[in-house]
Amino acid sequence: MADLLDRGVAEEYASWFRALADPSRVQIVEYLARQARPLPVGEIVAAVGLAQSTVSQHLKILTDVRFVLVEPVGTARHYRINTRCVDCFPSAADVVMGRPAPTPAGSCG
């Protein structure tokens, strides 16, 4: 019988999948990845067409799993994609589907 995925790794991967379980969050991640620079929340709001409070809640979820990083700019906060973590996501999907991981588990941060 094959060994199960380590419980801690499974919990981390599950949090990533939950974070991307909403289409608006997928759009936000994709938008930030394409822009490749820190963005103010107002620019993200304009791009996705949702209320600022809704975008802020989505950004909180994405920052909690470290898909998105926050950078203080004066009194504002700018958001950027965490390429290191997002690069690991396909690996997580591969592992869950029983394929070998191309990068070591737990290397995202």
Give the tens place of pLDDT for each residue, 2-41.
Answer: 678 788 888 888 888 899 899 999 999 999 999 989 999 9
pTM of the model: 0.80
User: Confidence band (pLDDT; 50, 70, 90) for 109?
Assistant: low
Domain architecture of the chain: domains with CATH: 7-96 (1.10.10.10)
> Of the given ranges (10-24, 35-49, 95-109), which has the lowest mean pLDDT?
95-109
88 vs 74, higher pLDDT: 74
SS (H, E, C) the chain: CCCCCCHHHHHHHHHHHHHCCCHHHHHHHHHHHHHCCCEEHHHHHHHHCCCHHHHHHHHHHHHHCCCEEEEEECCEEEEEECHHHHHHHHHHHHHHCCCCCCCCCCCCC
Percent of the chain with pLDDT over 90: 55
Q: Tokens 């588990």 map to which residue? A: 105
